Structure 1
C-alpha cells in the first residue's frame, strides 16, 4: 500500500463555482476522477461539513475521504519572527493526519479535511514580489543568519499536501531560485517523493519529533518517529536544510526519561553532515478547552496526556478562547531541564528558541 493510499481515499470533492478555470484545480480533479463533485459557494462554509457537531464521530473518515478546492482570495505575508520571519499565504489548509493537539480544527468546526488553494500562480507571484521588496536581510536572527524565512505550512503539512497537488513542488522550485529567501515547513510524514525535487538549499524541512510512547497516543495517522529520524540524512543529502521541531513537548511523569531516549535515537541515527547543520525549536503544549471537548468524542485516550489540570493553567487567547498551558514556574524549570538534556545528548544541535 502506498503512502497516499494509506492516508487518502477521496470520495467527495467540494469545490467553489467555476473552480476549473484554474489549471491546478483541473489537475487535482484529474487525480481523483471517481470522486463525487459538489459545488459550494465558499470553501469556508460547507453545509453539513463545517459546524456539524455530528461529524466528530467521523473525524478521521472525513480526513480520508473529503477534499476541498477553493481560491485563496486574500494574500498577505504575516510577520512571525519566531520560527520564521514571515508566514506565507496558505496554499492549503487542513490535513489528512489527525494529531489530537492540532490547533487548526479549533477554527473549522468538527471537520478538518484538506483544502487546496488552486490559484497557485497568484500566490507564487505574490511571494516572489514580497521577497524582492525585502532586499538583503540586514542582520542575522533566530530564524536564519542570511535568508528571509517564509513558513509555507502554517495550517497544513506540506508532505501530505504534495500527495494531493503540485503546490508544494512549485513552492520549493520558487524558493530554490529566490536569492534572499527560503521556505520552511514542519512535517510528521516522510514523503520520499520530495527527495526527487531540487531544493538547492532553498527549503528548510523541520521534522517534528517527540518520544514514540507519547506519539503513538496523540500523533494519529502520522509516520513513526523512528521512520522520521531515519529519513533525515536522506533529505540533507537531497539538498534540504533539515531542522528538528520538538513540538509539542508533553509533560507527564516519565517525560524526561523518554526524551533522553529520543535524543539518543537522533544522535545514533544521523551522520556528521546532518549533525553539523541541525538546529531545533522547542514548543511546549498549549491545549484548548473546545478542542478537548471535541477530542473526547473521537479519541479520549490522548486527552489523558493532553488535558492535565493539575499541571496546567488557563490563559485567554487574543481571540477569547480558553487555552491551557503548563503552570509558569514549573514550565520554566522543564524548559531548562530539556535544553540541558539536549546539550548533553545532542550537543551539536543548536536550539533556535524554546518556549
Structure 2
C-alpha cells in the first residue's frame, strides 16, 4: 500500500506533554509496535537533527521516524500571495523527499514529520483570528470573497492526514466559518479526503511539473499524471482545486517540457474543473546548504537544481542566503511561461508568477 511505502514508523520521538494530549495518544496507538522515545524538545533531537552522518539515511529516517510535539507559537502571519494569512503549523517536515524543499534548511540533516498534538489550541487561535477579521470587503488575488488561510506552509497536508486527524479537524473548523477558507498545496493524492465534509471552504492546490523532471526531484511523491487525474475527482467532490506550477526549473528543454505538461492538463480536465481553475507560478529558489546536503543523498538532482551559470545569490526576506535565476533572465522566463499558459490553457487564471 502507498501509505505503508511512505510511513513504516518504528520510533516515535515524543515530548511528554504531547503524549498527555488526546491527539498524541491517538497517534501512538496507530503504531503500537513503535518505540516511544521521550524528548525534551521536538526540534533538538540529536539522533535526527544536526548530524550530517544522517544524510545518506535521508529517506529511511523519513519513513521510520515520527516526532510528536506541542506547538508553542500560535501566531497567524500575514502573507498576501498564496493566502491572506499563514496559519500556525499543525505539522512540519514531510515523509516525501522533494530535493528542493526549504523545510530541511531549518531542521538540520533530517526532516521527518513532526506532528503537533495541541490541535485544539491551534484551532482556537485560528478561529479567534478569523472572527477578528470580519467580512472581506475588497477582493484580492487570494480570493474575491473569503479570507484565505494556508495551513500547510511547512508540511504536506495530504500526507499529514495519513498520520493524524489534524487536517480534517481544521477542514471541519473552516466549514463552519462563513468568512474564511483554508488552503494547502500538495504533491500527494489522498483519496480518503474525497469523503470529507468541507462545505466548499477548502482549496487544494496540486503542484505540477513536467513528469520526467518530477521523477528525479519530486522524490516519493504521487506521479504527476495521478495528480492531474485527481483534479476532476476533487472538483466533483466540491473542493476548489487550483494548481501550482512549481518549482519551474530551467533546463535545455524546459519550454517544450512545459508545453507538453500544459497540453496534458488541458486534455484531462473536465469543463467543471477548467471553469474554476487558477494557478500560481513559482520559479526555483535553491540554497547552498541544501545543495551540500543533497550531494550526500541525491547528487543527480543537483545537476538540474544547482546551476551557477544561470543563478545568482539573493538574501530572502527571512535572512537566508539563496540562489535564484538571474533577474534579467528570469523576467524573460516568466513571460515565456505565462504566455504559454494563456495560449494552451486560457481559462487558467494566473494568480501570481515570480
Query: Could you state the TM-score of these two structures normalised by the residue count of structure 1?
Result: 0.99
Q: Deviations over 1:213-259 (max 9, x none)?
A: 11111000001100000000000111110000011000111000000
Distance 1:193 1:217 in 2: 27
2:2 is aligned with 1:3: yes
Aligned pairs, number:
354
Report the CA distance between 1:21 and its aligned residue. Answer: 1.8
User: Which residue is equivalent to 1:220?
Assistant: 219
User: Do structure 1's residue 166 and structure 2's residue 165 form an aligned pair?
Assistant: yes
2:192 corresponds to? 193
Distance 1:308 1:347 in 2: 32
What residue number does 2:290 align with?
291
Aligned to 1:260: 259
Query: How far apart are the structure 1 equivalents of 2:203 and 2:177?
Result: 14
Partner of 1:270: 269
Distance 2:120 2:145 in 1: 27
In structure 1, what is the equivalent of residue 240 of structure 2?
241
| Conserved 8 A contact 2:93-2:114 | yes
- The equivalent of 2:113 in structure 1 is 114
How much is the aligned-residue C-alpha RMSD, in angstroms? 0.8
Q: Counterpart in 2 of 1:251?
A: 250
1:25 aligns to what? Answer: 24
Q: Distance in 2 between matches of 1:180 and 1:111?
A: 38
Provide, for residues 169-216 of structure 1, a one-character-per-residue CA deviation record: whole Å limited to 9, x for no partner.
101111111100000000000000001101121000000000011111
* Residues 1:140 and 2:139 are matched in the alignment: yes
**What is the deviation of 1:318?**
4.1
Q: Which runs of 5+ in 1 are unaligned?
A: none
Whole-Å Cα distance in 1 between the matches of residues 209 and 255 of structure 2?
A: 11
1:112-150 CA-to-partner distances (Å, cap 9, x unmatched) read 000000000111111111101000012000000000000
C-alpha distance in 2 between matches for 1:20 and 1:68 = 11
SS of 1:297's equivalent?
helix
* CA offsets 1:240-279 (integer angstroms, 9 cap, x no match): 1000001100011100000000001111111000000000
Contact 1:236–1:242 at 8 Å: present in 2 too? yes
1:176–1:200 contact (8 Å) kept in structure 2? yes
Q: Would the aligned equivalents of 1:188 and 1:222 in 2 still touch at CA under 8 Å? A: yes
Show the 5 A alignment for 1:330-345. 330-345=329-344
Structure 1 residues 176 and 320: CA distance shift in structure 2, 3 A: closer
Alignment partners' CA distance in 2, 1:86 and 1:3:
32
Shift of residue 320, structure 1, vs aligned partner: 4.1
Q: TM-score, normalised by structure 2?
A: 0.99
Output one character per residue of 1:92-114: Cα deviation in whole Å (capped at 9) or x when no partner.
00000000000000110000000
Aligned counterparts of 1:14 and 1:314: Cα–Cα separation in 2: 36
Q: CA shift at 1:319, angstroms?
A: 4.6
Which deviates the most, 311-320 or 100-109? 311-320
